[in-house]
Amino acid sequence: MSDRTRIARKLLARIRELKGDIVWDDVGNRLFIAGRWKLPTEACVMIKYYGRELAQIVQEEAGIAKQDEIEERAAKIEFSGGAPRTMAEQFARICCAEKPSNWSAEDHAWFISRCAKIIDEAADIKADSRRAA
């Protein structure tokens, strides 16, 4: 880890101690300072100076958090829905993905809920076949 990255990590930790945060804005493809008013003026100068390193850190954090969310959702789909693990992981990725830009929010919500219903119905069919056996 470079000195700049190490300093950027300490800077991010200090910003979070002050109840601020730095997040990556995928839409604008830039850093966003949440709670900027809680930070001393010098912090904004430091954020600008270490921007590239901070961007890398928060993007890595977001990727790890997204992967954790996918794994947790896949486990719920697998065990509660009775779906095979590979199907559960694929559906979890779809659930956690951003809405396609050419879809309306309503179409996206319908698609996700319809997929979930199919998994629920498959689990019910599987449970019924176990009871019948």
Instruction: Please write the tens of the pLDDT for every residue from 61-91.
Output: 877 778 888 888 888 888 877 778 888 888 8
Listed residue (27, 22, 25, 64) closest to 46, CA to CA: 22
Could you give the C-alpha distances from 81 to 52, 92, 130, in angstroms and in order? 42, 12, 14
Report pLDDT for 130: 66
Say if residue 50's pLDDT is above 90. Answer: yes
**Which contiguous run of DSSP H or E holds residue 121?**
helix 105-132
Exposed, middle or buried by CB within 10 Å (0-12, 13-18, 19+), for 74? Answer: buried
Would the pTM of this model clear 0.75, i.e. be above it? Answer: no
Where in the chain are the domains? 3-64, 66-132
